[in-house]
Amino acid sequence: MAYGKKLDPAPITAGLSVRELVEKHLYAYNAARLREACQLFTEKICQPDVTIGVTLSGALTPTGLGTAALVPLIRAGLVDWVVSTGANLYHDMHRSLGFELYGSTPFTNDADLREQHIIRIYDILFDQEVLLESDAFLRQCIAGPEFQRSMSTAELHHLLGRYTQARERALGTDYVSMLTAAHEAGVPLYTSSPGDSTIGMNVAAMALSGNRLRFDVEADVNETTAIVYRAKKSGGKSAVIIFGGGSPKNFILQTEPQLQEIMGIAEKGHDYFIQFTDARPDTGGLSGATPSEAMTWGKVDPDMLPDTVVCYVDSTIALPIFAAYALEQAGTRPLKRLYDARDEMLRELSDDYAAARS
Protein backbone atom coordinates (compact mmCIF):
# COMPACT_ATOMS: atom_id res chain seq x y z
CA MET A 1 0.00 0.00 0.00
CA ALA A 2 1.39 3.39 -1.00
CA TYR A 3 1.12 6.06 1.69
CA GLY A 4 3.22 8.60 -0.18
CA LYS A 5 5.94 8.91 -2.77
CA LYS A 6 8.36 6.01 -2.79
CA LEU A 7 11.83 6.98 -1.58
CA ASP A 8 14.14 5.68 -4.28
CA PRO A 9 17.69 6.68 -3.26
CA ALA A 10 20.50 6.58 -5.77
CA PRO A 11 24.22 7.23 -5.35
CA ILE A 12 25.33 10.83 -5.65
CA THR A 13 27.75 11.24 -8.53
CA ALA A 14 30.22 13.90 -9.59
CA GLY A 15 28.75 16.76 -11.60
CA LEU A 16 25.37 16.63 -9.87
CA SER A 17 23.27 19.70 -10.73
CA VAL A 18 21.29 21.68 -8.16
CA ARG A 19 18.07 20.55 -9.84
CA GLU A 20 19.06 16.90 -9.51
CA LEU A 21 20.17 17.42 -5.92
CA VAL A 22 16.83 18.98 -4.99
CA GLU A 23 14.60 16.58 -6.88
CA LYS A 24 16.43 13.30 -6.28
CA HIS A 25 18.33 13.62 -3.01
CA LEU A 26 16.36 15.82 -0.61
CA TYR A 27 14.40 12.87 0.73
CA ALA A 28 12.79 13.67 4.07
CA TYR A 29 12.51 15.96 7.11
CA ASN A 30 13.52 19.55 6.39
CA ALA A 31 15.38 18.50 3.28
CA ALA A 32 12.03 17.39 1.88
CA ARG A 33 10.45 20.66 2.96
CA LEU A 34 13.17 22.51 1.03
CA ARG A 35 12.41 20.39 -2.02
CA GLU A 36 8.69 21.08 -1.65
CA ALA A 37 9.36 24.82 -1.34
CA CYS A 38 11.49 24.82 -4.49
CA GLN A 39 8.88 22.88 -6.45
CA LEU A 40 5.93 24.92 -5.17
CA PHE A 41 7.74 28.09 -6.17
CA THR A 42 8.64 26.99 -9.69
CA GLU A 43 5.48 25.04 -10.52
CA LYS A 44 2.79 27.35 -9.10
CA ILE A 45 4.14 30.62 -7.75
CA CYS A 46 6.23 31.63 -10.76
CA GLN A 47 3.15 31.88 -12.97
CA PRO A 48 2.58 35.29 -14.62
CA ASP A 49 -0.60 36.01 -12.63
CA VAL A 50 1.10 35.63 -9.21
CA THR A 51 2.56 38.64 -7.42
CA ILE A 52 5.60 37.52 -5.44
CA GLY A 53 6.60 39.28 -2.23
CA VAL A 54 9.82 38.38 -0.42
CA THR A 55 10.88 39.22 3.14
CA LEU A 56 14.44 39.35 4.46
CA SER A 57 15.55 39.31 8.08
CA GLY A 58 18.82 38.31 9.64
CA ALA A 59 22.19 39.36 8.26
CA LEU A 60 21.82 37.90 4.75
CA THR A 61 23.49 40.54 2.59
CA PRO A 62 26.82 40.71 4.48
CA THR A 63 27.32 37.08 3.43
CA GLY A 64 27.04 38.14 -0.23
CA LEU A 65 23.65 36.52 -0.82
CA GLY A 66 22.12 39.84 -1.87
CA THR A 67 24.12 40.09 -5.07
CA ALA A 68 24.61 36.32 -5.44
CA ALA A 69 21.01 35.13 -5.06
CA LEU A 70 18.47 37.92 -4.64
CA VAL A 71 19.68 40.19 -7.44
CA PRO A 72 19.46 37.38 -10.04
CA LEU A 73 15.92 36.58 -8.84
CA ILE A 74 14.93 40.25 -9.10
CA ARG A 75 16.38 40.55 -12.60
CA ALA A 76 14.64 37.35 -13.66
CA GLY A 77 11.26 38.80 -12.66
CA LEU A 78 10.86 36.23 -9.87
CA VAL A 79 10.61 38.86 -7.10
CA ASP A 80 7.99 41.59 -7.46
CA TRP A 81 8.33 43.39 -4.12
CA VAL A 82 10.39 43.11 -0.95
CA VAL A 83 10.08 43.84 2.76
CA SER A 84 13.52 43.84 4.36
CA THR A 85 15.22 44.92 7.52
CA GLY A 86 17.03 48.18 6.94
CA ALA A 87 20.25 46.46 7.98
CA ASN A 88 20.18 44.15 4.97
CA LEU A 89 19.92 47.11 2.58
CA TYR A 90 22.55 49.11 4.44
CA HIS A 91 25.15 46.33 4.60
CA ASP A 92 24.52 45.47 0.95
CA MET A 93 25.86 48.93 0.03
CA HIS A 94 29.36 48.36 1.42
CA ARG A 95 30.62 46.44 -1.60
CA SER A 96 28.90 48.96 -3.92
CA LEU A 97 31.27 51.56 -2.46
CA GLY A 98 34.33 49.39 -3.00
CA PHE A 99 34.70 48.09 0.55
CA GLU A 100 35.59 44.54 1.50
CA LEU A 101 34.13 42.06 3.99
CA TYR A 102 35.98 38.93 5.07
CA GLY A 103 34.94 35.43 6.10
CA SER A 104 36.59 34.40 9.34
CA THR A 105 35.57 32.43 12.42
CA PRO A 106 33.07 33.15 15.19
CA PHE A 107 35.71 32.03 17.72
CA THR A 108 37.65 35.27 17.89
CA ASN A 109 38.79 37.49 20.71
CA ASP A 110 36.20 40.25 20.51
CA ALA A 111 38.17 42.48 22.86
CA ASP A 112 41.09 42.35 20.41
CA LEU A 113 38.75 43.10 17.51
CA ARG A 114 37.40 46.11 19.37
CA GLU A 115 40.94 47.37 19.95
CA GLN A 116 41.63 47.07 16.22
CA HIS A 117 38.31 48.71 15.24
CA ILE A 118 37.13 45.52 13.53
CA ILE A 119 33.38 44.79 13.35
CA ARG A 120 32.12 41.20 13.62
CA ILE A 121 28.87 39.73 12.30
CA TYR A 122 29.25 36.16 13.59
CA ASP A 123 32.00 34.88 11.24
CA ILE A 124 32.17 37.95 8.95
CA LEU A 125 34.70 40.70 9.72
CA PHE A 126 35.21 44.19 8.33
CA ASP A 127 36.92 47.40 9.33
CA GLN A 128 34.90 49.97 11.26
CA GLU A 129 35.90 52.48 8.58
CA VAL A 130 33.50 50.64 6.26
CA LEU A 131 30.61 51.79 8.44
CA LEU A 132 31.91 55.34 8.75
CA GLU A 133 32.42 55.73 5.00
CA SER A 134 29.07 54.13 4.21
CA ASP A 135 27.41 56.55 6.63
CA ALA A 136 29.15 59.48 4.91
CA PHE A 137 27.87 58.24 1.53
CA LEU A 138 24.34 57.95 2.89
CA ARG A 139 24.38 61.45 4.36
CA GLN A 140 25.69 62.90 1.12
CA CYS A 141 22.85 61.21 -0.77
CA ILE A 142 20.01 62.23 1.52
CA ALA A 143 21.21 65.82 1.66
CA GLY A 144 20.15 66.12 -1.99
CA PRO A 145 17.10 68.19 -2.93
CA GLU A 146 15.04 65.19 -4.06
CA PHE A 147 15.13 63.81 -0.51
CA GLN A 148 13.80 66.94 1.23
CA ARG A 149 10.30 65.69 1.94
CA SER A 150 8.32 62.88 3.53
CA MET A 151 8.31 59.63 1.52
CA SER A 152 7.66 55.93 1.77
CA THR A 153 10.63 53.66 2.35
CA ALA A 154 10.13 52.29 -1.17
CA GLU A 155 10.70 55.76 -2.59
CA LEU A 156 13.72 56.35 -0.38
CA HIS A 157 15.32 53.09 -1.47
CA HIS A 158 14.46 53.72 -5.12
CA LEU A 159 16.24 57.07 -4.98
CA LEU A 160 19.22 55.56 -3.17
CA GLY A 161 19.40 52.88 -5.86
CA ARG A 162 20.23 55.54 -8.42
CA TYR A 163 23.29 56.49 -6.36
CA THR A 164 24.50 52.94 -5.70
CA GLN A 165 24.07 52.23 -9.40
CA ALA A 166 26.23 55.24 -10.28
CA ARG A 167 28.90 54.29 -7.74
CA GLU A 168 29.06 50.69 -8.95
CA ARG A 169 29.46 51.87 -12.53
CA ALA A 170 32.11 54.41 -11.57
CA LEU A 171 34.12 51.74 -9.78
CA GLY A 172 33.81 49.40 -12.76
CA THR A 173 32.86 46.58 -10.42
CA ASP A 174 30.78 43.52 -11.24
CA TYR A 175 29.03 43.88 -7.89
CA VAL A 176 25.34 44.83 -8.05
CA SER A 177 23.46 45.67 -4.86
CA MET A 178 19.81 44.98 -4.19
CA LEU A 179 19.19 48.73 -4.18
CA THR A 180 20.59 48.99 -7.70
CA ALA A 181 18.80 45.92 -9.07
CA ALA A 182 15.46 46.95 -7.56
CA HIS A 183 15.87 50.50 -8.90
CA GLU A 184 16.47 49.16 -12.39
CA ALA A 185 13.67 46.56 -12.26
CA GLY A 186 11.01 48.74 -10.62
CA VAL A 187 10.82 46.44 -7.59
CA PRO A 188 9.70 48.37 -4.47
CA LEU A 189 11.84 47.74 -1.37
CA TYR A 190 10.12 48.41 1.95
CA THR A 191 11.52 48.45 5.47
CA SER A 192 8.98 47.62 8.14
CA SER A 193 10.92 49.37 10.94
CA PRO A 194 12.82 52.17 9.19
CA GLY A 195 14.24 53.64 12.38
CA ASP A 196 15.78 50.31 13.35
CA SER A 197 18.85 50.42 11.11
CA THR A 198 21.83 52.57 10.28
CA ILE A 199 19.91 54.11 7.39
CA GLY A 200 17.25 55.28 9.86
CA MET A 201 19.90 56.43 12.33
CA ASN A 202 21.47 58.68 9.69
CA VAL A 203 18.08 60.07 8.68
CA ALA A 204 17.36 60.85 12.34
CA ALA A 205 20.71 62.54 12.92
CA MET A 206 20.35 64.73 9.84
CA ALA A 207 16.83 65.74 10.91
CA LEU A 208 18.45 67.43 13.92
CA SER A 209 20.44 69.65 11.58
CA GLY A 210 17.49 70.65 9.41
CA ASN A 211 17.25 67.90 6.81
CA ARG A 212 13.60 67.47 5.81
CA LEU A 213 13.59 63.77 4.91
CA ARG A 214 10.97 61.86 6.92
CA PHE A 215 9.67 58.30 6.75
CA ASP A 216 5.99 58.09 5.77
CA VAL A 217 5.10 54.83 7.51
CA GLU A 218 1.42 55.24 6.66
CA ALA A 219 2.39 55.30 2.99
CA ASP A 220 4.29 52.05 3.50
CA VAL A 221 1.22 50.37 5.00
CA ASN A 222 -1.07 51.65 2.25
CA GLU A 223 1.30 50.92 -0.63
CA THR A 224 1.98 47.33 0.44
CA THR A 225 -1.73 46.75 0.99
CA ALA A 226 -2.46 48.19 -2.45
CA ILE A 227 0.04 45.80 -4.04
CA VAL A 228 -1.72 42.77 -2.57
CA TYR A 229 -5.16 44.18 -3.33
CA ARG A 230 -4.28 44.77 -6.98
CA ALA A 231 -2.91 41.23 -7.26
CA LYS A 232 -6.12 39.69 -5.95
CA LYS A 233 -8.69 42.05 -7.48
CA SER A 234 -7.19 41.57 -10.95
CA GLY A 235 -7.90 37.83 -10.69
CA GLY A 236 -4.34 36.89 -9.83
CA LYS A 237 -2.77 35.49 -6.69
CA SER A 238 -0.42 36.69 -3.98
CA ALA A 239 2.60 34.75 -2.72
CA VAL A 240 4.88 35.47 0.24
CA ILE A 241 8.37 33.99 0.47
CA ILE A 242 9.78 34.57 3.96
CA PHE A 243 13.46 34.31 4.80
CA GLY A 244 13.69 34.40 8.59
CA GLY A 245 10.80 36.05 10.39
CA GLY A 246 10.57 39.12 12.57
CA SER A 247 9.04 42.43 11.63
CA PRO A 248 9.30 41.94 7.83
CA LYS A 249 7.25 38.73 8.10
CA ASN A 250 4.44 40.46 9.97
CA PHE A 251 4.52 43.49 7.70
CA ILE A 252 4.01 41.49 4.52
CA LEU A 253 1.30 39.30 6.07
CA GLN A 254 -0.63 42.15 7.71
CA THR A 255 -1.69 43.41 4.28
CA GLU A 256 -4.60 40.95 4.31
CA PRO A 257 -5.97 41.84 7.79
CA GLN A 258 -5.57 45.47 6.74
CA LEU A 259 -7.93 44.82 3.85
CA GLN A 260 -10.39 42.62 5.73
CA GLU A 261 -10.43 43.88 9.30
CA ILE A 262 -9.44 47.53 9.03
CA MET A 263 -10.74 48.58 5.61
CA GLY A 264 -13.77 46.28 5.43
CA ILE A 265 -12.87 44.98 1.96
CA ALA A 266 -13.79 41.36 1.28
CA GLU A 267 -10.67 39.20 0.96
CA LYS A 268 -9.53 35.72 2.05
CA GLY A 269 -5.75 35.91 2.51
CA HIS A 270 -2.49 35.27 0.68
CA ASP A 271 -2.56 32.30 -1.65
CA TYR A 272 0.96 30.93 -1.25
CA PHE A 273 3.22 30.90 1.82
CA ILE A 274 6.81 29.66 1.99
CA GLN A 275 9.01 30.28 5.03
CA PHE A 276 12.59 29.37 5.83
CA THR A 277 13.14 29.82 9.54
CA ASP A 278 14.94 28.57 12.64
CA ALA A 279 12.17 29.87 14.95
CA ARG A 280 10.00 27.34 16.79
CA PRO A 281 6.21 27.73 16.88
CA ASP A 282 5.85 26.61 20.50
CA THR A 283 7.38 29.81 21.92
CA GLY A 284 4.39 31.79 20.66
CA GLY A 285 6.43 34.32 18.68
CA LEU A 286 5.50 35.71 15.31
CA SER A 287 8.70 34.43 13.69
CA GLY A 288 7.71 30.82 14.34
CA ALA A 289 3.97 31.17 13.72
CA THR A 290 2.75 28.61 11.19
CA PRO A 291 0.65 29.28 8.07
CA SER A 292 -2.27 27.59 9.83
CA GLU A 293 -2.04 30.06 12.71
CA ALA A 294 -1.73 32.92 10.21
CA MET A 295 -4.92 31.64 8.57
CA THR A 296 -6.88 32.38 11.76
CA TRP A 297 -5.90 36.06 11.38
CA GLY A 298 -7.01 36.17 7.75
CA LYS A 299 -3.40 36.35 6.57
CA VAL A 300 -3.52 33.10 4.57
CA ASP A 301 -6.44 31.83 2.47
CA PRO A 302 -7.76 28.71 4.28
CA ASP A 303 -8.48 27.06 0.94
CA MET A 304 -4.80 27.41 0.02
CA LEU A 305 -3.20 25.84 3.12
CA PRO A 306 -1.97 22.84 1.08
CA ASP A 307 0.12 25.35 -0.89
CA THR A 308 2.15 26.41 2.14
CA VAL A 309 5.56 25.15 3.22
CA VAL A 310 7.64 25.86 6.32
CA CYS A 311 11.24 24.67 6.22
CA TYR A 312 13.24 24.80 9.43
CA VAL A 313 16.65 25.66 8.06
CA ASP A 314 19.19 28.50 8.15
CA SER A 315 18.33 30.95 5.36
CA THR A 316 21.97 31.06 4.27
CA ILE A 317 21.65 27.37 3.38
CA ALA A 318 18.20 27.56 1.81
CA LEU A 319 18.52 30.76 -0.24
CA PRO A 320 21.34 29.78 -2.63
CA ILE A 321 19.77 26.36 -3.28
CA PHE A 322 16.31 27.89 -3.70
CA ALA A 323 17.60 30.60 -6.05
CA ALA A 324 19.67 28.23 -8.19
CA TYR A 325 16.76 25.81 -8.56
CA ALA A 326 14.29 28.59 -9.37
CA LEU A 327 16.51 30.22 -11.98
CA GLU A 328 17.05 26.88 -13.74
CA GLN A 329 13.48 25.60 -13.54
CA ALA A 330 11.37 28.77 -13.79
CA GLY A 331 13.55 30.84 -16.07
CA THR A 332 12.35 34.44 -16.33
CA ARG A 333 9.05 36.32 -16.12
CA PRO A 334 8.19 39.80 -17.42
CA LEU A 335 8.92 42.47 -14.81
CA LYS A 336 5.76 43.75 -13.12
CA ARG A 337 7.45 47.08 -12.23
CA LEU A 338 5.17 47.61 -9.24
CA TYR A 339 7.16 50.64 -8.11
CA ASP A 340 5.98 52.54 -11.17
CA ALA A 341 2.34 51.58 -10.51
CA ARG A 342 2.18 52.72 -6.87
CA ASP A 343 0.02 55.81 -7.43
CA GLU A 344 -2.45 53.91 -9.62
CA MET A 345 -2.70 51.05 -7.13
CA LEU A 346 -3.25 53.48 -4.24
CA ARG A 347 -6.07 55.23 -6.11
CA GLU A 348 -7.76 51.90 -6.74
CA LEU A 349 -7.45 50.90 -3.07
CA SER A 350 -8.68 54.31 -1.90
CA ASP A 351 -11.72 54.22 -4.18
CA ASP A 352 -12.73 50.75 -3.03
CA TYR A 353 -12.15 51.63 0.62
CA ALA A 354 -14.49 54.59 0.21
CA ALA A 355 -17.06 52.32 -1.42
CA ALA A 356 -16.79 49.81 1.42
CA ARG A 357 -17.45 52.55 3.98
CA SER A 358 -20.47 53.99 2.21
Phi and psi at 247, nearest 5°, equal -60, -45
* Cβ density class 156-189: b for 16+ within 10 Å, e for less: bbbbbbebbbebbeeeeeebbbbbbbbbbbbbbb
Q: Which residues are catalytic?
A: 299
276 in helix, strand or coil? strand
Measure Cα distances from 71 to 14, 61, 75, 198, 287 in Å: 28, 11, 6, 22, 24
What number of H helices and E strands is found in the chain? 16, 11
Q: Which residues of 60-94 are buried (b: 16+ CB within 10 A; e: fewer)?
A: bbbbbbbbebbbbbbbbbbbbbbbbbbbbbbbbbb
Write the CA distances from 329 to 12, 55, 58, 76, 106, integer angstroms. Answer: 21, 22, 27, 12, 36
Q: Which helix (H) or strand (E) holds 257?
A: helix 255-257
Distance of CA 64 to the CA centre of its chain: 14
